[in-house]
Amino acid sequence: MTSFRFPDDLIDLRRRQIRIYNELALRPDVGAAELRRALIRLSCLISVHPYWAEHGWSMAGRVELVRAARSGPDGVRELVMHWNGEEFVVPGPKAPEEGP
């Protein structure tokens, strides 16, 4: 099994991307265009990060990057959205806490 050791700045980029995705999921009508631009920018920064040039891009690496972003005291998870037949909804009474 390949071991992935991601630099802190790459993990931080992915965590920021997840936080913005969650914000957009919870409030799609508030600043949606700006949030989408931020998501695109972060996606580009993640994709061209020097780590991938040195270690090679792989789907397994991308999955492990998500796991790394979830772990640790600053870890964050993407909200799960479901289609109810009319709109996408975030199930549950409230969103998970994201930290400070």
Whole-number pLDDT of residue 94? 52
Question: How many CB atoms are closer than 10 A to CB 96?
Answer: 12
Residue 56 or residue 95, greater confidence? 56
Q: What tens digit of pLDDT does each residue of 60-91 get?
A: 999 999 999 999 888 888 777 777 888 777 77
Domain boundaries, the chain: 8-89
Residue 91 or residue 10, greater confidence? 10
SS3 7: coil
Pair 90, 81: CB distance under 8 Å: yes
Whole-number pLDDT of residue 87? 76
Q: What tens digit of pLDDT does each residue of 18-43 get?
A: 999 999 888 878 888 999 999 999 99
Phi, psi of 40, deg, nearest 5 = -65, -45
